[in-house]
Amino acid sequence: MGKSRKTIVDCTHMIHEGMPVFPGSDRPVLDPVFTFDALGFREKKWTIFSHTGTHMDAPAHMKEDGKTLDQFPAETFMGKGFVLDVRECTAEEIPLTRIKPFEKILKEIDFLLIQTGWEVHWGSDQYFEGFSALSAEAAEYLMTFELKGIGIDAISIDRMDTKTYPIHKILFRHKKVIIENLKNLSVLSGVFNFQAFPLHVVDADGSPVRAIAVVEE
């Protein structure tokens, strides 16, 4: 038998100075402090918020006694993933009834990645409003499975009009990680290998990640 072919799907938005960021955050600054012309080598100083671009939230982001990313073992950031396509739920909550048919798959995976379709609005004002988010009931149901985390192709796992961030808090109470601003979920199907590794920074409430899916054919 021949070897299986692997396709690598990059689920990560590029970090650059003009990129979208969560309202209230500053865009990254990538300052070329040392240049090749002047010194014979290049090195930039990055000034960046910990929740920039495709990034991971730790429970410590919104839970006073929550774990930081550096307190999780490295294997937390890799496992089996599955995309739940909820593009029909635009501007609505994702109800429990939309999740329950996938009970068998949820028992097998580590990461549920929610496809709202909002990636197409990346770089426009529309990216910050109108996307769907889990209902509290659906989020609590997902916590009955042995998931490592939940990801989404939108700016937040909660709706933008929230003042209490209930979905974040449900996941953090159960020591899960959250991955926001994913991309290319539309090309993924079935169960695949998923990796999203944060920078190994002390007391990390969050970190940009390089999120990839490895699809075996």
**In the chain, where the domains are located:** 6-14+50-216
Instruction: Let me know: does 168 contact 62? Beta carbons within 8 Å.
Output: yes
Average pLDDT value for residue range 40-54: 97
Average pLDDT value for residue range 131-141: 96
2 pLDDT band, cuts 50/70/90, is low
Q: Can you spell out the DSSP letters for the chain?
A: -PPPPEEEEE-BPPP-TT----TTSPPPEEEEEE-HHHHSS-EEEEE--TT-SSEEE-GGGT-TTPPPGGGS-GGGGEEEEEEEE-GGGTTSEE-HHHHGGGHHHHTT-SEEEEE-SGGGGTTSGGGGSS--EE-HHHHHHHTTS--SEEEESSS-SS-TT-SS-HHHHHHHHTT-EEEESB--GGG--SEEEEEEEEP--TT-SEEEEEEEEEEE-
- Please state which of the ranges 3-7, 81-85, 121-125, 146-150 shows the lowest mean pLDDT: 3-7
Q: What is the pTM of this model?
A: 0.95
Does residue 98 or residue 90 have the better pLDDT? 98
Residue 216 confidence (pLDDT) above 90: no
CATH architecture of 6-14+50-216: 3-Layer(bba) Sandwich (3.50)
Cα 32 to its chain centre, rounded Å, is 28
Residues with Cβ < 8 Å from 101, sequence gap 6 or more? none
Task: Output the pLDDT for position 185.
Answer: 98
Task: Output the pLDDT for position 110.
Answer: 98
Query: pLDDT tens-digit profile of 149-183?
Result: 999 999 999 999 999 999 999 999 999 999 999 99
Task: Output the pLDDT for position 92.
Answer: 80
Average pLDDT value for residue range 10-14: 98
Round the average pLDDT of the chain to a whole number and report it. 96
Residue 1 confidence (pLDDT) above 70: no
User: Which one, of 186, 124, 176, lies nearest residue 155 by Cα?
Assistant: 124
